[in-house]
Structure 1
Amino acid sequence: MAIDRRDFLRAATAGAAGLSLGNASSLAGAPLFEGSVPAPRAAPLRRRAGQAPDVVVIGAGSFGIWTALNLQRLGVTVTVLDAYGPGNSRSTSGGETRGVRSSYGGRPAGFVWNRWANEAIRRWIQWDEEGQELLLPRVFYQSGDLILREEMIPYVEDTMAQWDRLGVDYELLDVDEINYRWPWIRTEEGVSLGLHEPNAGVVRARRAIESVAKRFEMEGGEIRIARAALGESDGRQLNEVTLGGEESLAASTFVFAVGPWIGKTFPELFGDRVRIPIGNVFYFAVPDQRFMFPNMPSYGVPGCTGWPALGPDHRGFRVRTGGQTGDDPDTSDRWVPPEAHERPRQVLERYFPDMVGAAINETRACHYCFGPNRNFLVDKHPDFDNVWLAGLGTAESFKQGPVLGEYIAKRVLEIENDPELAEQFRFSLEAPEGGQREPGPESEDLGG
């Protein structure tokens, strides 16, 4: 049944097979995702009791749940397995908020990421519009994003060049303009320019994952709380995953999107090839509405990213700085020790003086995961023809979830076939350099 459906889908969507989502050689001046539309919302699939799914997705984070939804909308039955559940506190996708911006200058995959992130912004807006009909909470807030730097640097120049090629709106602001728009941002010391991306925004992260999971279930998908491991196989075909004890689950295809658990799940493949540092996030009490959405943009300063407080949650003014060395994602403590509190307060003093002395409402600590080239991983398991691996990319996958999920789903079903893009996302035998340091160049990009 699953093989027949997949063959049918390949034939029915043959015209889409040649569509490239990220071929940089053919994108100059082209509109975003020309000829491509998100997978349509299908009628709920009706699954017989006890029927094995066509695809099992292991992991209900950003990679997994968006992939599952898109697979299902392409006509296959899908079961999602997660050890803790969608939006849980141990997951990378389970934090309060994540930034959605497209400033990726100076990165090897920057142009593809820039293009995808801008398309993702459009889809986040569309997601909220559709969600209103289903009484789902709003998740995306278009705050704009402001990058502050002491001088013009290659990161900023390259980002603007990418935006020029893609036709993305942006503004290069001088200090006078920054002070006029946001006089509560200090620019006296070391700020000479601001790069403003008006379409960028902030997503309520765990609520977004819960929202996608809800839609997936409403449209016929199944989510189970279970920890999966490789089960019986026949040559290069995996037949099942085990769920603990004597229980197992069979399927035609398996997608492992397990985030920072990828090293534990496949130690022989990723034992020394991934890093899982922990990032520290602080939410400070705001003195007034200047530091709340929509009165200021999200921001990026050397070594730190953050954004204003969002009204629906009132968590506070967000400051994200470097974190600790990563450990086992099942046992690591997810709290920020007091000795790490000095750095975010230095950021407030340097750029937001009216926030000095503000109380910390709460802290968050979560694992990120990156591989040798810090790009996404979308590739088959080297030992199995029906097992896919999806993950990595430090903190950049969440914002691009609506686009990544579609791309992965089409790769799994052999609908999308861009060899150049697939090569960027292939499994690598190399190990990351520099130990477990923070994702991204410290002075330019700390991730979302």
Structure 2
Amino acid sequence: MNADYDVIVVGAGSMGMAAGYYLTRQGAKTLLIDAFDPPHTNGSHHGDTRIIRHAYGEGREYVPLALRAQTLWNELQQEVDETIFKKTGVLGFGPEGSAFIDEAIASSKQYSLPLELLDAGEVNKRWPGIKLPEGYKGCFEPESGVLYSENCIRAYRQLATKNNATILTNTPAKDIEIYEDSVSITTEQDTYTAKKLIISAGAWNEKVLSNLGLDIPLQPTRQTTTWFDSDPSLYESDVFPAFFVDMPSGVYYGFPSFDGCGLKIGRHDIGQKTEPAYVNREYGIYPEDENYGREFLERYMPEAAGKLKRGIACIYTRTPDEHFIVDLYPQHSHVTIAAGFSGHGFKFASVIGEILSQLALDGNTEHDISIFSITRQDLQHTGKTLRQ
């Protein structure tokens, strides 16, 4: 078969759009197909901002990827006029004995990352908007900060297009056929062929992969984020960091106020099991969604618990062990899969895009991605309990 393209990317969101850019930078003739028009509000990348941390509580295996991701984000910043990254620093805190905080500290020591260890009194003094009780501890990473997620995708799209990528938006892939040494993708308008395929369809991955005979436990969950009116002298981005919090009652994350938008807060450890088509993004949030953030703020950041300014719903797509899937299709080495980023993947989109381009074009990558193997045993284990 004479292929139309070197590589087709199905799903041009966070990982797919980055992959498209890195493919074109290597001279590959690339087609990106997306059911929507990225950046958009139908997946996992909207809501303005994402945290990037280097000292990683989810496991030390992620640290080299986080550092490479940061390098690539910094390079992207030099290529476009969009604001990609702001170094706000990232504060983590929780009670003594928090495994997540302890792992972040351990990863910083192993990789000699700058990380300041603080007791509750030191946190409260340094950031008067925080009120931690005795018995809590914090760790502050000064070189980390915030990514502007939609700007990141917009920038990769701009550069991929500049490099002659073809991008089909509002174009769902109706059928995918995998042959011995090529693939074909059928949409409502046409059929396209390529030598290689990358599947990065986000919350739709389980359906796409199931249709190809590959059953992977991927669970989309409805997640919400809220912004609250807050005292700018305490919580504006020039004086307050991004943060993550691990405590017995829940795992939270948040952002300072940027240009008066309000303090942003979300909860990571719960979510309603859903299908992506059923997430009501127009309505946004329900009263209980507001309460998750408000109750946290009233206890730990009371001056940030003002009037609700905004709330949105988006999607996590979780694996049972909450590690990613980045690997070649076991029976088809010309098909690469990126899935299950479990609510902590966006910060890695730059390096995952680089990895996907290497896997697609060369069949391997310079990065250690063994933890993301599609055949790993832990992929079959039951993960955290989710709110029904």
Q: Same fold (TM over 0.5)?
A: yes
**Paired amino acid for 1:316:** G
Give the Cα–Cα distance (whole angstroms) in 2 for the partners of residues 411 and 289 of structure 1.
47
Tell me the CA shift for residue 97 of structure 1: 1.2
Aligned partner letter, 2:122? E
Number of the residue aligned with 2:266: 320
* Alignment partner of 2:361 out of 399, 413, 422: 413
Q: Deviations over 1:246-270 (max 9, x none)?
A: x111111110101111112123556
Q: How far apart are 1:232 and its partner, in Å?
A: 4.2
From 337, 348, 352, the equivalent of 2:286 is 337
Is 1:69 matched up with 2:29? no
> How far 1:242 sits from its partner (Å)?
0.5
Cα pair distance change 1:396/1:339, threshold 3 Å: closer
Aligned with residue 224 of structure 1, among 162, 168, 172: 168
The 5 A counterparts of 1:47-58 are 52-58=4-10
Question: Are 2:232 and 2:257, in contact at CA under 8 Å, matched by a contact in 1?
Answer: no
Q: Structure 1 371/147 Cα, relative in aligned 2: closer, same or farther at 3 Å?
A: same
Cα distance in 2 between the residues matched to 1:154 and 1:325: 25
Of the three residues 63, 72, 88, the one matched with 2:40 is 88
The aligned counterpart of 1:442 is: none
Task: Give, as a single letter, the amino acid of the residue that structure 2 aligns with 1:351.
Answer: Y
Preserved CA contact (<8 Å) 2:252 2:265: yes
The one-letter amino acid of 1:219's match is N
Cα distance change of structure 1 residues 159 and 434 upon mapping to structure 2, 3 Å threshold: closer
8 Å contact from structure 1 (residues 277, 436) kept in 2: no
**Separation of aligned partners in 2, 1:232 and 1:151:** 53
The one-character-per-residue Cα deviations of 1:268-324 (angstroms, maximum 9, x if unpaired) are: 55666111112210011223232111211111223211010122xx43211102554
Q: Shift of the alpha carbon at 1:152?
A: 4.1
Q: How far apart in 1 are the matches of 2:123 and 2:115?
A: 14
Superposed counterparts of 1:374-413, under 5 Å: 374-413=322-361
State percent identity of aligned pairs. 24
Partner of 1:114: 63
Work out the CA distance in 2 between the residues paired with 1:291 and 1:197.
17
Using the TM superposition, give the Cα deviation of residue 331 of structure 1 relative to its aligned residue in structure 2, in angstroms: 3.2
Residue from 116, 122, 137 that aligns with 1:171: 116
TM-score by length of 2: 0.89
CA distance in structure 2 between the partners assigned to 1:89 and 1:363 by the alignment = 13
Shift of the alpha carbon at 1:118? Answer: 2.4
Deviations 1:341-375 (A, max 9, x none): 2221111111111123x111111111111223322
Say whether the 8 Å CA contact 2:273–2:386 is kept in structure 1. no
Q: Which residue of 2 is the match for residue 253 of structure 1?
A: 196
Please tell me the residue identity of whatever aligns with 1:426: S
Relative distance call for 1:370 and 1:330 in structure 2 (3 A) is same
Separation of aligned partners in 2, 1:148 and 1:315: 24
Alignment of 1:32-431 (within 5 A): 52-105=4-57, 107=58, 110-131=59-80, 136-187=81-132, 189-225=133-169, 226-234=171-179, 236-244=180-188, 247-267=190-210, 269=213, 273-302=217-246, 303-311=251-259, 314-321=260-267, 323-334=270-281, 335-356=284-305, 358-414=306-362, 416-417=364-365, 421-428=368-375, 430-431=379-380
Give the partner amino acid of 2:197.
F
Q: Identify unmatched segments of 5+ residues in structure 2.
A: none
Letter in structure 2 aligned against 1:213: R
Going from structure 1 to structure 2, the CA distance change for 1:56 and 1:293 (only over 3 Å counts) comes to same
SS at 2:296 equivalent: helix
Displacement of 1:392 in angstroms is 1.4
- 8 Å CA contact 1:62–1:397 kept in 2: the answer is no
> Hey, what's the Cα distance between the residues in 2 that align with 1:276 and 1:404?
20
Deviations 1:415-440 (A, max 9, x none): 6446x9354222238545147628xx
Distance 2:225 2:286 in 1: 11
Q: CA deviation at 1:58?
A: 0.9
3-state SS in 1 of match to 2:368: helix
Say if 1:288 and 1:423 are closer, same or farther in 2 by CA, change over 3 A.
closer
Tell me the amino acid that sits aligned with residue 86 of structure 1.
P
> Please, what is the CA RMSD of the aligned residues?
2.4
How do residues 13-24 of structure 1 correspond to structure 2 at under 5 angstroms? none
Q: Is 2:221–2:274's contact at 8 Å kept on the other side of the alignment?
A: yes
TM-score normalised according to structure 1 size: 0.78
Indicate the structure with greater strand content.
2
CA distance in 1, matches of 2:23, 2:227: 36
Structure having the higher Rg: 1
Query: Which ranges of structure 1 fall in alignment gaps of 5 or more residues?
Result: 3-50, 439-448
Give 1:192 deviation, angstroms.
2.9
Kept after mapping to 1: 8 A contact 2:184/2:191 = yes
Cα 1:324–1:377 shift into 2, 3 Å? closer
**Partner amino acid, structure 1, of 2:7:** V
